[in-house]
Amino acid sequence: MNRAQSEALFAEALKYIPGGVNSPVRAFRAVGGQPFFVNHAGGCKLQDVDGNELIDYVLTWGPAILGHAHPKIIAAVKAAADHGTSFGIPNPFEVTMAKMICELVPSVRKVRMTNSGTEACMSAIRLARGFTKRDKIIKFDGCYHGHADSLLVRAGSGALTFGNPDSAGVPAAFTQHTIVLPYNDFEAVTAAFAANQDQIAGIIIEPVPGNAGLYLPKPGYLEFLREITASHGSLLIFDEVMTGFRLAKGGAQERFKITPDLSTFGKVIGGGLPVGAFGGRAEIMDYLAPLGPVYQAGTLSGNPLAMAAGIANLQELLATDAYAKLEQLGAQLAAGMRDAAKSAGVPVQFNQCGSMFCGYFTDQPVHNLADAMHSDRERFKRYFHGLLDSGVYLAPSQFEAGFLSTAHTATDIEKTVSAAAKVLRTL
């Protein structure tokens, strides 16, 4: 595969951008080699600057649930742009968006928009602390809630990929109120509440963690977290930046029938523009300025282009039979991949939930970060490059979830599975 133009651009990028990228996993350090540059994407395909076409399972890390450059989203953004790119005073799209979120996610009675998932999580934590008048937060090993200081402790995604889940530059004092526990471990949570009576503001969790690959909550685990937080006057915060509007129209909370106090969103809700949101019970949300004492703001929050893109994305998801299709594609991919691994004799745990998936190279089930770390990462590297050379793009790290869109077809999945079957036999 010719990648001359990508190589030239990357050499230039390295001179001016740290590591040549604006977000670390994109640099391909976890898999070796160099990133390719893209100047066009449509449907489930990316086209790099050298003209190579790839079936994309990264989907700009989740947002492109309808595939890339969906005509309705592009039209909505163009139409909005004709009227101005930002006003700094309320615009009608903000009301439409807020109303849609509240209707789709019943636990959310009021919602505020941000510019990223990081901001949404950072603000939700501040709000939980302000509302409960408590300082401590429980988070889980390998869960990623963006790169705000107090949450960058044993975090997933790039932080984990590069072996620094605890970032330099975060004073210990900033994270001393963050309690980090293993995911899916009931006992650890009970013990933490016993040891920190009346001090825990809340638990923040990815209900289906997708930033250390992908694993699912054990039966009863999310129910247990709902109950223990409620009984201690703590808040349950679902970080649905990845799962929101993806695992169901109402997110993981609809799929698993749990009602959190606060939720955070991003990715799908922005339709590929920079957006985040956090929302929940009205009396908690009313603690935010200007009504309450918890400060939170944003020059571009509720930006009309971003709102227009997000609204178009959500409307199209609702108008089509999107979720049924995504479930079908996910099941097809999982069945195909498990078969391919089995016939190649390679031990793989292929975890899948709706349109999210991850294959780990281990013969042991993966329920948390410690299990995920058993995956053979050297094998993953060879697998990743084998697939890339066959025209299939997976996230360039073992510790990222893969995504499907409604633009993928059964034929795309078949092609992917047969490419994977070939590569697996060479591992």
Ligand X SMILES: *Cc1c(COP(=O)(O)O)cnc(C)c1O
Residues taking part in catalysis: 144, 239, 267
Smallest distance, Å, CB 206 to ligand X? Answer: 5
Smallest distance, Å, CB 146 to ligand X? Answer: 4
Comparing CB distances to ligand X, the nearer of 260 and 386 is 260
> Given the rule CB under 6 A, which residues bind ligand X?
116-118, 121, 144-146, 206, 211, 239, 241-242, 266, 276
Q: What are phi and psi of 349, to 5 degrees?
A: -100, 110
CB contact at 8 A, 124 and 142: no
Residue type, 348: V
Smallest distance, Å, CB 152 to ligand X? Answer: 11
| The token pair that represents 327 in the structure block | 């479930």
Comparing CB distances to ligand X, the nearer of 225 and 417 is 225
CB contact at 8 A, 40 and 47: yes
Smallest distance, Å, CB 401 to ligand X? Answer: 8
How far apart are alpha carbons 28 and 118 in whole angstroms?
22
Q: Strands of 270-424 (E only): list them.
A: 276-280, 349-353, 356-360, 392-393, 402-403
Start-to-end CA span in the chain (Å) = 20
Comparing CB distances to ligand X, the nearer of 118 and 349 is 118
| The token pair that represents 164 in the structure block | 């620094």
Residue nearest to ligand X (CB): 117
Comparing CB distances to ligand X, the nearer of 236 and 241 is 241
Smallest distance, Å, CB 386 to ligand X? Answer: 26
How far apart are alpha carbons 283 and 285 in whole angstroms?
6
Comparing CB distances to ligand X, the nearer of 206 and 412 is 206
DSSP string, 260-274: -SEEEE-GGGGTTSS
How far apart are alpha carbons 277 and 245 in whole angstroms?
12
